[in-house]
Amino acid sequence: MKEINELNFPENLKYTEGHEWIKRDGETFTVGISDYAQDQLGEVVFVEMPETGETFARSDEFGTVESVKAVSEIYMPISGEVVEINQGLEDAPELVNTSCYKEGWIIKIKPEDPAEYETLMDRSAYLDTLKG
């Protein structure tokens, strides 16, 4: 496992205590797990994702990431409807390890209340959480 200062946490994202990240892309939001989360999990071998059209409340479990070490639940950072899943993860779940913020995203959602996004942690607050 890497030291926190060796990991990548982009400034343009928001983060959750559960180590999910979320990015606003116009009317939709892209969700994945942070570099810290993928590093802690180790080699990802499977990603369970919801169906498009499913709706979830903030903090609801929407899927799991399975690694050679453990299975970890993934939670919704904000309430919304799943409008797209990352089909590429079905054949290449390791994208979560190699490109967690680009090719390794997990779902895209249409938010129920976009204002929830503003209540999430920015990079600085997330780093403070990781450092304890």
pLDDT tens, 85-120?
Answer: 999 999 999 999 999 999 999 999 999 999 999 999
Beta pairing partners, 80: 56, 111
Beta pairing partners, 64: 48, 73
Mean pLDDT, residues 29-33 taken together: 98
Q: What distances in angstroms separate CA 68 from CA 71, 75, 93, one per listed residue?
A: 8, 20, 12
Secondary structure (H, E, C), 11-70: CCCEECCCCEEEEEECCEEEEEECHHHHHHHCCEEEEECCCCCCEECCCCEEEEEEECCC
pLDDT tens, 8-24?
Answer: 999 999 999 999 999 99
Q: Is the pLDDT assigned to residue 132 strictly greater than 90? A: no
Give this prediction's pTM. Answer: 0.97
* CB within 8 Å of 100: residues ≥ 6 apart: 21, 32, 33, 34, 35, 37, 38
**pLDDT given at position 129:** 97
Fold of the domain built from segment(s) 14-114: OB fold (Dihydrolipoamide Acetyltransferase, E2P) (2.40.50)
